[in-house]
C-alpha cells in the first residue's frame, strides 16, 4: 500500500512538536504563544488584524514584487483554471496593499496599521530554516511618509522578539533612496562589475544582466572581496531620502534600538525605496534572516493605484524565530495539564464516564478519559502521560454510592468525593 508523507519543505505542527528534514518543529502551544505575543504587541501599536486569501492573482504578485525577482521567476506556486492565473501568496505585502486599495481604506483617513499572521509559499530548495510553506507575521503601516512610521515598524518587531524572550539578534539597515537613485546606482555598479565578470559566479554573472543589485547580497568571500571597492548606493541617494534615513536612525537611537548600517543591504523584492532593513539571528546558520522589511512607496502604483500611497512594513519568519528561540533555550509556557482523568472499572462505570466528563467540562475543567476500554493500569499510565493533576477512579461500588475516589497526582492523597464536589476540590 502506498503511504503518504507531507511534501518536502512542508511540515506538521503537532501538540508535542515534530521534526522535518532534520529540523525540529516547535509544539503547537509554542506557535500559539508566539502568535499571542504578536496579537498583544500589535494591539499596543494600535494595529488591526488583516486576513487576506492564500491565493491571489498572479499579476498582483509579479507586478508587486517585481517580474525579475527570484521569487517571481523561480519560486512561485502558480496555476491556472480557465483563463484565470492564480498564485499561492509568496508574501503578504502586495496582498495587503491590494486589500487597502480594494476597500478604499484611505477613505478612513489617517494611517492604516495592518498586521497579519499566516502561511506563505515559495518553491525554494528546502533546507534548515527554509521551507516551501512557511509562516510570516508582519505589520504594514500604510498612508504615511513619516520617518516615525519606519522606526515604529522596527520597534514593533523588536517588542515581539523581546516579548518572547529572544535576545540575540542584530538589525541591519540601509536606505535605497528614491525611484531615481537606483537606476543611476545600478548603472555605476554594472560599470564597476563588468570588467570583473569572469571572476563572478554563474549566478552573479546572470544577475549582472537581470538584477545587478542582488549581487551585493552575495555570501561568497571571493565576491565580497571583489565588491570592496564597488560604488556605494549611499553615494547615489537623493538628499530627501538621506534626511529621511537620518530621521529614522535618530528615532531608533532615541528608544535605545541598536542597529548596524549596511550599505550593501538591498533586499530580494523590488518594491522598496528609502528604508530597507533586516533582522538576523547569529544562531541559525545560512538562513539567518529572521525578518525583513522597508518602505515601499512605489508599490501602490505598480498594483493599480492612481496615487502614490506611501507605506512601510516588515515580515518575520515564524519558523526561524522559533528555531532561534529553541537555540536560546526558550521553550514557551508549560504544556497545559489535564485537570481530571476519569479512570473507569467495569462496563457500567465505563459508560458513566461520558456523562461525568460532560458535567465536569461544563464546570470549565479540562477532562480526559480512556476511549479503548483498557485495564486500570493502562488507564493510570495514560493519566500520567497526560500529566493529569487528579485522577477520578470509579468502579461499581463508587457508582452505586454516587462517589469517586479522587487522587491528587502530586501529593498521592486519595479521598472519596461526590462528582459535583470535584470542581471545588480541583480549584482549591
Ligand atoms: P522577505 O525577506 O522575503 O520579505 O521575507 C521575510 C521573512 O520571511 C524572512 O526574513 C524570513 O525570516 C522568512 N522567510 C522567507 N522565505 C522563507 C522560507 N522559504 N522559509 C522560511 N522562512 C522564510 C517579505 O516577505 C516582505 N513582504 C517583507 C515586508 C513587509 N516588506 C515590507 N513589508
**Domain that residue 223 falls in:** 184-232
Residue 2 within any structural domain of the chain = no
Residue 91 within any structural domain of the chain = yes
Nearest residue by C-alpha to atom 17 in ligand 1: 130
Residue 103 within any structural domain of the chain = yes
Any atom of ligand 1 within 6 Å of the Cβ of 138: yes
Find the CATH number of the domain harbouring 356: 3.40.50.800
Are β-strands 78-81 and 84-88 bridged in parallel, bridged antiparallel, or unpaired? antiparallel
Asked if residues 337 and 387 have their Cβ atoms less than 8 Å apart, the reply is yes
Is it the case that residue 281 has pLDDT exceeding 80? Answer: yes
pLDDT in tens, 305-362: 999 999 999 999 999 999 999 999 998 888 889 999 999 999 999 999 999 999 999 9
Judged on CB neighbours under 10 Å (0-12, 13-18, 19+), 232 is middle
Is it the case that residue 375 has pLDDT exceeding 80? Answer: yes
Q: Name the domain boundary from 292, 327, 362.
A: 327
If asked whether residues 79 and 29 sit together in one domain, one would say yes
Alpha-carbon distance values, 362 to 367, 372, 415 (Å): 10, 23, 23
Its pTM stands at 0.94
If asked whether residues 276 and 217 sit together in one domain, one would say no
The predicted structure's pLDDT at residue 249: 98
3-state secondary structure of 371: coil
> Measuring CA to CA, which residue among 94, 172, 180 is closest to residue 138?
94
What average pLDDT does this structure show over 2-31? 92
If asked whether residues 354 and 423 sit together in one domain, one would say yes
Q: How far is the CA of 137 from the centre of ligand 1 (A)?
A: 9
If asked whether residues 291 and 405 sit together in one domain, one would say no
If asked whether residues 122 and 195 sit together in one domain, one would say no
The set of cell numbers assigned to 345 is 472499572
pLDDT in tens, 390-425: 999 999 999 999 999 999 999 999 999 999 999 999
Residue 7 within any structural domain of the chain = no
Sorting pLDDT into bands at 50, 70 and 90, what band is 86? Answer: very high
If asked whether residues 144 and 273 sit together in one domain, one would say yes
The set of cell numbers assigned to 78 is 502558480
Beta bridge partners of 24: 19
Any atom of ligand 1 within 6 Å of the Cβ of 294: yes
Any atom of ligand 1 within 6 Å of the Cβ of 293: yes
Q: How far is the CA of 122 from the centre of ligand 1 (A)?
A: 10
Is it the case that residue 219 has pLDDT exceeding 90? Answer: no
Is it the case that residue 177 has pLDDT exceeding 90? Answer: yes
Nearest residue by C-alpha to atom 11 in ligand 1: 317
Q: How far is the CA of 120 from the centre of ligand 1 (A)?
A: 9
The predicted structure's pLDDT at residue 423: 96
The predicted structure's pLDDT at residue 301: 96
Q: How far is the CA of 248 from the centre of ligand 1 (A)?
A: 22
Residue 347 within any structural domain of the chain = yes
Any atom of ligand 1 within 6 Å of the Cβ of 140: yes
Q: Which of 16-20, 366-370, 420-424 has the lowest mean pLDDT?
A: 16-20
The total of structural domains in the chain comes to 3
Residue 332 within any structural domain of the chain = no
pLDDT in tens, 111-153: 999 999 999 999 999 998 999 999 999 999 999 999 999 999 9
Is it the case that residue 379 has pLDDT exceeding 90? Answer: yes
425: which residues sit within 8 A by CB, 6+ positions away? Answer: 390, 406, 417
The predicted structure's pLDDT at residue 133: 98
Q: How far is the CA of 327 from the centre of ligand 1 (A)?
A: 20
Nearest residue by C-alpha to atom 10 in ligand 1: 291
Q: How far is the CA of 316 from the centre of ligand 1 (A)?
A: 6
Any atom of ligand 1 within 6 Å of the Cβ of 93: yes
Asked if residues 279 and 320 have their Cβ atoms less than 8 Å apart, the reply is no
The set of cell numbers assigned to 374 is 483498557
Nearest atom of ligand 1 to the alpha carbon of 316: 7
If asked whether residues 82 and 125 sit together in one domain, one would say yes
Q: Name the domain boundary from 327, 358, 392.
A: 327
The set of cell numbers assigned to 166 is 529572544
Q: How far is the CA of 119 from the centre of ligand 1 (A)?
A: 11
Nearest residue by C-alpha to atom 23 in ligand 1: 317
The predicted structure's pLDDT at residue 229: 92
The predicted structure's pLDDT at residue 25: 94
Distance, in Å, from the CA atom of 61 to the CA atom of 53, rounded to the nearest integer, reads: 13
Distance, in Å, from the CA atom of 178 to the CA atom of 308, rounded to the nearest integer, reads: 13
Residue 420 within any structural domain of the chain = yes
Amino acid at each position: 500500500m502506498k503511504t503518504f508523507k507531507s511534501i518536502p519543505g512542508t511540515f506538521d505542527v503537532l501538540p508535542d512538536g515534530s521534526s522535518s528534514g532534520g529540523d525540529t518543529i516547535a509544539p503547537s502551544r509554542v506557535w500559539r504563544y508566539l502568535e499571542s505575543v504578536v496579537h498583544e504587541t500589535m494591539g499596543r501599536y494600535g494595529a488591526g488584524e488583516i486576513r487576506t486569501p492564500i491565493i491571489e492573482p498572479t499579476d498582483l504578485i509579479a507586478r508587486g514584487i517585481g517580474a525579475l525577482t527570484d521569487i517571481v521567476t523561480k519560486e512561485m506556486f502558480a496555476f491556472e483554471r480557465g483563463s484565470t492565473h492564480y498564485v499561492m501568496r509568496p508574501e503578504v505585502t502586495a496582498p495587503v496593499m491590494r486589500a487597502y486599495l480594494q476597500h478604499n481604506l484611505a477613505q478612513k483617513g489617517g494611517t492604516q496599521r495592518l498586521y497579519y499572521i499566516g502561511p506563505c509559499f515559495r518553491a525554494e530548495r528546502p533546507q534548515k530554516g527554509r521551507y516551501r510553506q512557511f509562516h510570516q507575521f508582519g505589520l504594514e503601516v500604510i498612508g504615511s511618509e513619516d520617518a516615525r512610521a519606519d522606526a515604529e515598524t522596527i520597534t514593533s518587531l523588536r517588542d515581539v522578539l523581546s516579548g518572547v524572550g529572544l535576545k540575540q539578534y542584530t538589525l541591519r539597515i540601509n536606505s535605497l533612496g528614491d525611484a531615481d537613485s537606483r537606476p543611476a546606482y545600478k548603472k555605476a555598479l554594472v560599470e564597476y562589475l563588468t570588467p570583473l565578470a569572469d571572476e563572478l559566479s554563474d549566478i552573479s554573472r546572470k544577475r549582472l544582466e537581470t538584477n545587478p543589485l542582488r549581487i551585493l547580497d552575495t555570501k561568497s568571500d571571493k565576491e565580497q572581496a571583489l565588491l570592496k571597492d564597488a560604488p556605494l548606493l549611499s553615494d547615489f541617494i537623493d538628499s530627501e531620502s538621506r534626511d529621511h534615513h537620518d530621521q529614522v536612525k535618530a528615532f531608533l537611537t532615541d528608544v535605545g534600538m541598536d542597529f548596524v548600517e549596511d550599505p550593501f543591504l538591498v533586499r530580494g523584492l523590488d518594491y522598496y525605496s528609502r528604508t530597507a532593513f533586516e533582522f538576523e539571528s547569529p544562531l541559525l546558520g545560512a538562513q539567518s534572516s529572521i525578518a525583513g522589511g522597508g518602505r515601499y512607496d512605489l508599490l501602490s502604483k505598480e498594483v493599480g493605484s492612481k496615487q502614490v500611497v506611501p507605506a512601510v512594513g516588515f515580515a518575520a519568519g515564524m519558523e526561524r524565530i522559533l528555531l532561534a528561540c529553541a537555540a536560546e533555550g526558550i521553550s514557551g509556557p508549560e504544556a497545559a495539564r489535564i485537570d481530571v482523568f476519569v479512570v473507569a472499572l467495569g462496563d457500567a462505570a465505563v459508560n458513566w464516564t461520558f456523562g461525568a466528563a460532560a458535567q465536569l467540562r461544563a464546570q470549565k475543567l479540562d477532562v480526559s478519559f480512556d476511549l479503548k476500554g483498557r485495564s486500570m493500569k493502562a488507564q493510570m499510565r495514560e493519566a500520567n502521560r497526560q500529566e493529569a493533576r487528579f485522577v477520578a477512579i470509579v468502579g461499581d461500588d463508587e457508582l452505586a454510592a454516587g462517589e469517586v475516589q479522587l487522587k491528587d497526582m502530586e501529593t498521592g492523597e486519595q479521598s472519596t468525593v461526590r462528582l459535583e464536589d470535584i470542581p471545588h476540590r480541583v480549584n482549591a
